Amino acid sequence: MNQLELEGIYEQAQKSAKQSWNTMTSKGEMGYLPSLDGIVQPSEILSEVSLGLVEIPIQKIIGTYTHSRSISFAHNFMPLMSKDTEFANKWMNLYNAHVQEGIREPLKVYEYLNRFFVIEGNKRASVLKYVGAISFNAYVIRMVPKKDPTSKTNTIYYEFMDFYKKTRINTIWFSQSGRFKELYEFIEKYKFDKPFYNTKEKQFTAEVYRPFRTLYLKEGGSHLKLTTGDAFLNFLKIYGLPQTISPQTHKEYIQKLISELDVIEQDEVNVETDTIEAPSRRKRVFSSLADRLSGKRTLKIAFVYAKAPETSGWAYSHELGRLHINNVFKDQIHTEKIVNVPESAEAYNILERLAKEKYDIIFTTSPTFVAPALKAAMQYPDVKFFNCAGTHSYKSLTLYFGRIHEPRYLLGMIAGAMTKTNIIGYVAPYPISEVISSINAFTLGVRAVNPYATVKAMWTYRWDNPEQGKDIAKHLMEAGVDIISNEDLPVPEDMSKEYGVYCVGKDELEKKHYAMAIWNWGVFYEKVIRNILSGTWKTLSDISSGDQSPLNFWLGMNTGIVDILYSNRNVNSQMKYLIEGIKSAIIRNEFDIFTGPIYDQNKVLRVKTGEKCDYEDIINMDWLVDGVEGELPNNEDLKPTDPFSYMKNIVKADI
């Protein structure tokens, strides 16, 4: 290239530098390139480790080593010096060399917290960034910070170092702890079938991650605040692990994912807590149910169960709801139940079949179905999907759940009054927020009537598993408990009485059943269907509009969806009177269970005096109240193949 052409290129780079400078300074931030000596102090570093010659991603080169070098570049690594300087002349020569034969000499960089700072080769890095290079070789020295468990970034970085040791992948970063482990599980399953990549990890990066990143950024993902790694892991959880990603096959999926993330990131949730009525104003985003039902076409509704109603109290409670609406609406609706659906990505195949069979509404009745249900809801927007879970909120998928912690509090009161040993057992299925808040509410109920009692919690690590619950109950009996809170619901014809709250003794004759929490899903299903058939919800978008924040149904005892059933024989009249009084106060919103002061197990004040936990506090509860004996399982120890580990952190990113 001639000098005039090179000067034109340099002027373009310099213009980009000035734009970057103006953008940063207008926000009150430094416009120069970051320097490592201004970011980290020597006292913060544990050690320096040479990684040798490594291929590093260009976008992760974010600064230089010293401040004296940084003032030659803007924050985006473009040159600030005028074109008549020696600096500019060297930059143009490097650019020309790159065009003619490519820059070959490796950089020398420090790596700190998975970001790279140039020691030697700043102009080379600037030219490589200008031409849009993806990666380049560099001699890397890792600066390892001292371990700090109180720092989220530090914790994530130590997890990254373990991940890097196994994979040599340095292009991916996450905003939350535990995600490198989840990603590694996917990489382990990946099929290495192209030996010219030398390793499976290189093939995975080249064939899956980088194409995803290119499409994600091209389709607008760059405006979201979460990391590309967060979005990528969500993609794998929802759509599964492809052998390769291509625009022809995956562009539409990534567009749908970005659309979902865009709404979720706003961190606004529409939560219906008292009624099941239609919002007043919603735009017509999806096709009208009224139109689809023109000509008196029967409304087709599918219920998806993880187990059969004959073997599962949870499935049986939803089946009673299905039978209820059949009886109420008769030939206006047609319902179908699908049982023993796998609690994994395989469930999507069944949901896809139902969508293609023109079902109008599909209720997936277990929290373990959230990933495949979300995938199906994004893929088939003309079908309305509901998932029974109380986790996060999604644009395409409407969630519904009951405030089961309300009757759980009342069960705790009964248990606290009936115990003689002051040690009460609690069979906990899985460490998700619905279960954690229920344990806490139960314990607060126990302590309300018996401040000397404690609740010993043990985990089955399985959702809706009565047999394992009974096994855990035996361990609790061996630990000295005399009252146990077990599975909410019995399976049909279960005469064991090992559900709800019951007392235990040396033999079966001493076992007494006191009370149980009940789910009246028919109440919810009837109101949903009635609103649709009556035209109150004229469109699918009335239920969850694409231009509105997501809508959750989180309904309590005031709607009748959750309630308590107690034994008239085994619960005395004084206790009944107290329970009915507290229940009425809950229904009238005169009594809030999670009102401070509330302390956790470590005597730390979690809810201040007079303050109340709101929806977000309760569905994100990850601590146990004072009075609980037992620990929350470490999520790192849970297998990602377990249903709840699989769906953990899907879409919703804490940023």
Residue 160, token pair as written in the block? 């990254």
Listed in sequence order, the residues at least 6 apart from 92 whose beta carbon sits closer than 8 Å to its beta carbon are 3, 6, 7, 9, 10
Listed in sequence order, the residues at least 6 apart from 428 whose beta carbon sits closer than 8 Å to its beta carbon are 435, 439, 457, 458, 459, 460, 630
- For residues 593-614, one letter each, b for 16 or more C-beta atoms within 10 angstroms of the residue's C-beta and e for the rest, the string is bbeeebebeeeeebbeeeeebe
Residue 567, token pair as written in the block? 């034994």
3-state secondary structure of 603: coil
Compute the distance between CA of residue 230 and CA of residue 538 in angstroms, rounded to an integer: 36
> If 0-12 CB within 10 Å is exposed, 13-18 middle and 19+ buried, where does residue 288 land?
middle
Phi-psi region of 359 (alpha: psi -120 to 50; beta: other; left: phi over 0): beta
646 and 371 in contact (C-beta within 8 Å)? yes
Residue 163, token pair as written in the block? 């991940």
Would strands 398-402 and 551-555 be described as parallel, antiparallel, or unpaired? Answer: parallel
User: Which helix (H) or strand (E) segment is 180 a member of?
Assistant: helix 179-189
Listed in sequence order, the residues at least 6 apart from 81 whose beta carbon sits closer than 8 Å to its beta carbon are 14, 72, 87, 88
Phi-psi region of 558 (alpha: psi -120 to 50; beta: other; left: phi over 0): alpha
Which residues of the chain fall below pLDDT 70?
264-270, 275-296, 391-392, 464-466, 488-498, 506-510, 535-550, 635-655
3-state secondary structure of 438: helix
Q: Which of 197, 142, 257, 151 lies closest to 651, judged by CA?
A: 257
Q: Which of 361, 319, 309, 312 lies closest to 529, judged by CA?
A: 361
Q: What are phi and psi of 18, to 5 degrees?
A: -65, -35
Residues in a beta bridge with 304:
338, 364
Residue 633, token pair as written in the block? 């399982």
The verdict on whether omega for the bond into residue 597 sits within 30 degrees of 0, i.e. cis, is: yes
**pLDDT at position 654:** 46
Largest CA distance in the chain: 99
Q: Which of 590, 633, 592 lies closest to 462, judged by CA?
A: 633
Interval 563-585: pLDDT, tens: 999 888 998 999 999 999 999 99
Compute the distance between CA of residue 460 and CA of residue 644 in angstroms, rounded to an integer: 13
The separation between CA 312 and the C-alpha centre of its own chain, rounded to angstroms, equals 26
3-state secondary structure of 156: helix
650 and 389 in contact (C-beta within 8 Å)? no
- For residues 196-234, one letter each, b for 16 or more C-beta atoms within 10 angstroms of the residue's C-beta and e for the rest, the string is eeeebbbbbbebbbbbbbebbeebebeebebbbbbbbbb
Compute the distance between CA of residue 111 and CA of residue 118 in angstroms, rounded to an integer: 9
550 and 389 in contact (C-beta within 8 Å)? no
517 and 562 in contact (C-beta within 8 Å)? yes
- CA trace torsion 468, 470, 474, 479 (10° rounding): 80
Q: What are phi and psi of 577, to 5 degrees?
A: -60, -45
**pLDDT at position 480:** 85
Specify the DSSP class assigned to residue 208.
I
Indicate the length of the chain as a whole number: 655
Compute the distance between CA of residue 184 and CA of residue 484 in angstroms, rounded to an integer: 39
Would strands 45-57 and 135-145 be described as parallel, antiparallel, or unpaired? Answer: antiparallel
Q: What angle do CA 79, 84, 88 make, to 5 degrees?
A: 35
The domains found in the chain, sorted by start residue, are 1-146 (3.90.1530.10), 153-265 (no CATH), 271-401 (3.40.50.2300), 405-521+559-647 (3.40.50.2300)
3-state secondary structure of 268: coil
User: Which helix (H) or strand (E) segment is 387 a member of?
Assistant: strand 384-388
Reported pTM: 0.79
Would strands 361-364 and 384-388 be described as parallel, antiparallel, or unpaired? Answer: parallel
- For residues 327-345, one letter each, b for 16 or more C-beta atoms within 10 angstroms of the residue's C-beta and e for the rest, the string is eebeeebebebbbebebbb
Listed in sequence order, the residues at least 6 apart from 511 whose beta carbon sits closer than 8 Å to its beta carbon are 497, 502, 503, 504, 505
Compute the distance between CA of residue 9 and CA of residue 93 in angstroms, rounded to an integer: 11
Compute the distance between CA of residue 368 and CA of residue 441 in angstroms, rounded to an integer: 23
**pLDDT at position 391:** 64
